[in-house]
Structure 1
Amino acid sequence: MVNHRGPSLMRIASTSKFLSRKQSPRTIALYVVFLFTFSIFVFVFNAGNIVEDQHNPNVSHESQPQPQFLQIADEELWDAPSGHGLRPCVKPTSRYKAAQGSNRYLTVKSNGGLNQMRTGISDMVAVAHIMNATLVIPQLDKRSFWQDSSVFSDIFDELHFIKTLQGDVKIVRELPKQLELVPRARKHFTSWSSIGYYKEMMQLWNNHRIIHVVKSDSRLANNDLPLDIQRLRCRALYHALRFSPPIESLGKKLVDHLRMQSGRYIALHLRYEKDMLAFTGCTYGLTDAESEELRIMRENTKHWKVKDINSTEQRIGGFCPLTPKEMGIFLQAIGYPPSTLIYVASGEIYGGDARLSELRSCFPNLVFKEKLATKEELKAFAQHPSQSAALDYIVSIESDVFVPSYSGNMARAVEGHRRFLGHRKTITPDRKGLVRLFDELENGQQRETSSFSDLVRQMHKNRQGAPRKRKGASPGIKGKERFRTEESFYENPYPECICSSKAV
């Protein structure tokens, strides 16, 4: 048995020997002072440990690993990348022919959510110009996942839309009364078509005065179109499709409230919503019951063609939205401090507050539009997801930094708009690379240290919205499938709609 009192007995014996010798009064006094001082030190040290243990009764005395990310300068975190003198350029060239009056009409049924409809409508403006047709104000999708009953004028400033494009294409609110019952050519235009395709489609005017377009999304190619057609698409999307006054007004209020709270903020498009997880088949981190719920939803959604999806393969390939927890780790690793104000632009997060708490533990200052506006202000938008998404769009465009967790329609549209407005800072996560690092964290191969932070930052050095030309088709892809792999024109309208100051 170990005698824990041994050292104390030795000290006492040494003291006795010392005192037994004849010492001067001064030496004895100094020795007493030393012992008194040493005793006080030992008492204070032990008392500190006792207090600490009382406050943290469950804390082990072993070292607790904590995230140790790099301290990054403010300008690195918040400043936009250099625009290199580039600016928006949407004016027609000298070769552009103005719109002509036409008694041939194009009616359109837009499909999808807010941004899918917005880009689709912009395509239809260009198609109407190519086909020399009068465009009837498009009908909006009321049968999508969101079941939104909004009409065009609920979301967009209809009069502004018509007036802004009056030099490009004639636009009317509705068909003339005498044409309402006239048979229409019902057409599903081929995706990613060139101007030559639509020139051929003009033969439909030989037998019909009205062409009805069944779907509006992705009707035009991303590349190899005349410069004036590309600029017309930009004029339609960035100038003509202004949101309705009530949406613009409340959107501005939300931005003002955020500025008053912090001065600057991140807009995080957290696409961790039920429909997206079901569509992509991504179930990482979900319970068995949640995974089954998503599978049933995918099975029952007729227009989703792929039903059997391997969730693990999807995640490893970078095809899944990052989880709230992963977004928290990512933003910490980039260098944003816990005090950062983050506006969450999204619908209802799947799993609710329990899943969102994993992000909030890293960044407590999370805000939603519901915290910035009153119930009365939001009442008009409550049952209209597309109008609510328009508010998120405005806040995202105006943010200091925009970060999407998935490259969906809104993420691409916001990124393109921010590029158009001067290459505002947009950080697009490398989901495939990050998933590998997150798995290494989970397996203990990585730790949340400055070296981990450095890996993440290097991975995203060139993914922050700096000017670059639009990406073409993926290598090795042939036929019409190559068009699907091209970067969307609306995700990056450079170089057609973004020019140097010297450009004509």
Structure 2
Amino acid sequence: MVAYSQCEYSGLSPASIEAIEAARGDRKPWTGELARVWRKRGKCPFTPNETAFVLQALSIPTNTNMYLAAGDGLVEIEGLKPTYTNVVTKSALLRGEDLLNMHGNTRAALDYYVLINSDSYVATFFRNMDKMVAAMRAYEGLHNTLFLGRRAYVEMTSKGLDGKELLQALWVAHKEDFSMGRGSALPDCFCETVISLYFLLYMI
């Protein structure tokens, strides 16, 4: 999703940038004031690096077991696995031929099944799949669901917050979201032994 958002990203490795540009094709990222406005509104998906940082701000242990849905490419793994080492993807669960023979709808169905049956669910973006998963989890009474605050992250970083100050601010922002009824609250520590992490990052 990072590639298809047409948002500009900094701090990525040359290999990740190359992978994003290859996926974008002729679509060029927004620049100038349009790029700043789009990001300020929280319209840009989190990169895996940003996601890892926010998860740490929410005190989610780095040894948490995670299922990475949708994304299964260089950008996701490069940005997430150095911090969260217990990440499982479809390619790790399925043998090569089985994965190759699985078409797009079946892959999406596998992700959906895992996500609605996981102990916890975290979304880095908010599109159709996220809405369906969140709705089904709410219907089933599975309330350990969290949508990461992209707008809050941009507002805080634009103010120059970083390090421990940014970590604390992100914690407070997510707690306030839930206290104001904008989400299904996770436990106070935001921790579970197993968490399903849904990435809408359709990369290679």
Q: Mark yes or no: TM-score above 0.5.
A: yes
CA pair 293-366 structure 1, distance change in 2 beyond 3 A:
closer
Matches for 1:185-196 after TM superposition, within 5 Å: none
- Corresponding residue number in structure 2 for 1:329: 53
Cα deviations across residues 375-401 of structure 1 (Å, max 9, x unaligned)? 3443430xx112111111111111111
- Contact 2:72 2:91 (8 Å CA) reproduced: no
Deviation at 1:292, TM superposition (A): 9.1
Deviation at 1:356, TM superposition (A): 3.0
- Corresponding residue number in structure 2 for 1:453: 167
2:130 paired with 1:411: yes
Question: Residue type of the partner of 2:87?
Answer: L
Question: Residue type of the partner of 1:378?
Answer: L
- Contact 1:334 1:456 (8 Å CA) reproduced: yes
Question: Residue type of the partner of 1:446?
Answer: D
Greater length-normalized contact order (CA 8 Å, ≥ 6 residues apart) = 2
SS of alignment partner, residue 138 of structure 2: helix
Among candidates 80, 86, 107, match of residue 359 of structure 1: 80
TM-score normalised according to structure 2 size: 0.72
- Corresponding residue number in structure 1 for 2:7: 282
Question: Residue type of the partner of 1:319?
Answer: K
Cα deviations across residues 277-309 of structure 1 (Å, max 9, x unaligned)? 2xxx2122267875697372379xxxxxx9x99
Matches for 1:25-424 after TM superposition, within 5 Å: 271-272=1-2, 274=3, 276-277=4-5, 281-285=6-10, 290=20, 294=24, 296-297=26-27, 310-349=34-73, 352-353=74-75, 356-381=77-102, 384-424=103-143
Paired with 2:57 and 2:84, the residues of 1 have a C-alpha distance of 12
Paired with 2:140 and 2:33, the residues of 1 have a C-alpha distance of 38
SS of alignment partner, residue 363 of structure 1: coil
Paired with 2:25 and 2:131, the residues of 1 have a C-alpha distance of 26
TM-score normalised according to structure 1 size: 0.31
2:148 paired with 1:429: yes
CA pair 298-454 structure 1, distance change in 2 beyond 3 A:
closer
Paired with 1:312 and 1:356, the residues of 2 have a C-alpha distance of 27
Paired with 1:312 and 1:404, the residues of 2 have a C-alpha distance of 23
Aligned length: 174
- Contact 1:338 1:364 (8 Å CA) reproduced: yes
Deviation at 1:342, TM superposition (A): 1.2
- Contact 1:400 1:424 (8 Å CA) reproduced: no
SS of alignment partner, residue 296 of structure 1: coil
- Contact 2:68 2:88 (8 Å CA) reproduced: yes
Larger Rg: 1
Paired with 2:121 and 2:94, the residues of 1 have a C-alpha distance of 21
Question: Residue type of the partner of 1:297?
Answer: R
Question: Residue type of the partner of 1:422?
Answer: G
SS of alignment partner, residue 310 of structure 1: helix
Paired with 2:23 and 2:99, the residues of 1 have a C-alpha distance of 30
SS of alignment partner, residue 326 of structure 1: helix
- Contact 1:335 1:453 (8 Å CA) reproduced: no
SS of alignment partner, residue 297 of structure 1: coil
Stretches of structure 1 that go unaligned for 5 or more consecutive residues are 1-270, 300-305, 467-504
Paired with 1:387 and 1:332, the residues of 2 have a C-alpha distance of 32
